[in-house]
Chain A
């Protein structure tokens, strides 16, 4: 019996999961930077400004994936029916808070930028919902109980760590465009080292956890040695983890002068792409449990 992976959710959904993660991560980075203040002010602004639009674009991908995009608004109509509906509310609240927070930095509300208390209160609330958004993308997949590869507590954790890591990276890239924050970029790069190391551990634990049932074993096989393997090894492990880690380590401990920040920027771009691949790898590796009748097992036909 050959178990086949699901084929209904593809790149559009991966892009959504990824962008929601990046946006949430960037926003959290921004809020934290805002609390730190001082040299972090520029970073804070970039983080917050990136946060909500990323999620919004992500949602656009999700809507594009819908069979009936014109009915997308119905997702808000039954908040108590499902976790998915509740998650939609979380994202929505995040986007509203993010948008307000974003407003603090843009005209005509930029005069409010000095209202520290209000801004940081919104930031705190927003960060909570951002955290929710990042975790939710994992919960969303986990709601598919017959797909053991998704239905594990490790997945929200993995998506959270990846969200934070790619969020930080997005901020680094953003900051490099805005210019003038080299020192912060280098520091962020160091933070990212920790996040990447954490992510590596989470990925390992995540895959290690797949041994329990045949369908997740099949998923792991698919991801590690079969059709999804190139994407995993090159896209996720290479571009997403090893290369950024190596570059950032090099930047932090080896390179002097203008080197470190270039390394951090290149690492970030690579890591961000890796984040997208991670979502796609998880989606493409999703395999439904076989049906069992007596001694027989059957692969689902419609996946």
Chain B
């Protein structure tokens, strides 16, 4: 069993829905997005092209983040999901330097989304802050975990669930019959920056 994603760049139209759905599902604090979308332009007018690249933790089979982690806080489970043990992490940020995909985050503390407002946090932020502290916390490295808990409940990861273009597929890479495996084979799936030898579990299908 190795969980993986396929993101079809042909289908993706760069709407950021995955980014916000992830934020909502994981209660990530201000400035932190586990499902970060990047915008790109290439070519020269009038033959210019644009394409968004939605990213998330690649749950690398050979994770750089794990290789540099001095405390053993970074772990990899049987399904290939790379997690951070919040008890062990000391927040040295080595993993952030080492991750080739920019998929590690550290949060110094909750900062309100409404800095201009006085008084207590609103109801939602009170809830979100509590959940964040319960599941992650401050100072340590945090990251996407392929929505492990949702998946356990039988749901799709939040970003895949939301994606209006159905550009995100989630499944088992080890199973050659799975939708993701078939798509990768049939549609020239590729991984980002293979030169780092990280063997990402997130594959992309070419835009054109």
Contacts and interface: CB of A to CB of B under 8 A. Distances in A.
What's the dominant secondary structure at chain A's contact region?
loop
Contact of A75 (B42, B64, B90, B208): B90
A295 B105 contact: no
B91 A147 contact: no
Contact of A82 (B40, B68, B91): B68
Interface in A1-48: 1, 6, 8-9
A161 B123 CA distance: 56
Contact of B207 (A66, A68, A88, A294): A294
A303 interface: yes
Given A66-B139, A145-B196, A286-B97, A293 B89 contact: no
A78 B97 CA distance: 20
Interface string B89-115: 111111011111111111010000000
B38 interface: yes
Nearest to A286: B97
A72 B139 CA distance: 12
Given A67-B138, A82-B67, A289-B193, A8 B72 contact: no
A146 B49 CA distance: 26
A288 B40 CA distance: 16
A296 B53 contact: yes
A301 interface: yes
Contact of A295 (B49, B92, B98): B49
A106 B58 CA distance: 54
Given A71-B88, A74-B88, A291 B64 contact: no
B147 interface: no
A116 interface: no
Given A1-B40, A68-B140, A292-B192, A81 B97 contact: no
A78 B33 CA distance: 30
For chain A, the bracket of interface size reads: 35 or more
A103 B169 CA distance: 63
Contacts of A150: 97
B106 A8 contact: yes
B90 A74 contact: yes
Contact of B139 (A68, A88, A293, A299): A68
Given A68-B140, A71-B88, A75-B70, A295 B42 contact: yes
A302 B105 contact: yes
A294 B196 CA distance: 17
Which 6 pairs, one residue from A and one from B, show the smallest C-beta to C-beta distance? A67-B91, A67-B139, A300-B102, A71-B90, A144-B97, A146-B100
Interface of B: 9, 33, 36, 38-43, 49, 51, 53, 55, 64, 67-73, 88-94, 96-106, 108, 138-141, 190, 192-193, 196, 204, 206-208
27 contacts: A8-B97, A8-B106, A65-B93, A67-B89, A67-B106, A67-B108, A67-B139, A71-B89, A71-B90, A75-B71, A77-B71, A78-B72, A88-B70, A140-B94, A143-B97, A146-B196, A147-B97, A291-B38, A291-B55, A291-B101, A293-B207, A294-B207, A295-B49, A296-B51, A298-B39, A300-B102, A301-B33
